[in-house]
Amino acid sequence: MPPFRSTDRHPQVTGGQNVSMYTDNRGTEVRFTGKVMLNGKYLSSPKQLRKEWADSGLTFLEDATATAGPDGNAPDGPPEKRLTHYRARANALVLATAVDLMDKLGTDDLPQLAEAFRVTAGQVRIQTKAAQARMDTIQYECVIKATDKLARLADYIETAATVTWIEQ
């Protein structure tokens, strides 16, 4: 993980391994390995978030493919089977959307990127509600929850924006 600089002279950094902090007149530089929390919120660099989301998205896509019926859609049978498929597919799409937004918009303006996540989540929610009559209830609920997840991913971007990342 790249080190970061916080303007907070006494940031509360927990978790991680090998955490070291150096404070000067510009703030506090923090170097660490592993995952850390900054003032109670999970903190990761934009590059690390993109990598984690891309990796998780691939895993969800594999799960969606593995749980699909013979035609590639949700399987027939008990609701639990459809739920597993729809949940994996919705999460794969949300994470792919997050990675795509990061690639298109870049990470120079993290607050703007976080806002783009929220706007996109709102648009998907509106489209999903408009299509609700054509959707199975389980599918609808999975898409709505995944849309909420996209809005929550914006929180990770905003937390990453609270510090200055030091490229190595």
Contact status, residue 6 vs residue 38, Cβ threshold 8 Å: yes
Q: Which residues contact 23 (CB under 8 A, 6 or more apart)?
A: 9, 10, 29
> In terms of pLDDT, which residue wins out, 3 or 53?
53
Instruction: Examine the pLDDT at 168 and tell me if it is beyond 70.
Output: no
Residue 111, helix vs strand vs coil: helix
Residue 31 dihedral angles phi and psi, to the nearest 5°: -115, 140
What pLDDT was estimated at residue 62?
Answer: 95
- Could you report the per-residue pLDDT of 74-116, keeping only the tens digit for each? 888 888 888 999 999 999 999 999 999 999 999 889 999 999 9
In Å, the largest CA–CA distance within the chain is 64
Mean pLDDT of 59-87: 90
Mean pLDDT of 19-25: 85
Q: Which of 27-36, 107-116, 123-132 has the lowest mean pLDDT?
A: 27-36
Q: What's the Cα-to-Cα distance from 168 to each of 3, 19, 119, rounded to whole Å?
A: 8, 17, 33
Share of the chain above pLDDT 90, in %: 56
Domain-wise residue ranges, the chain: 4-42, 44-160
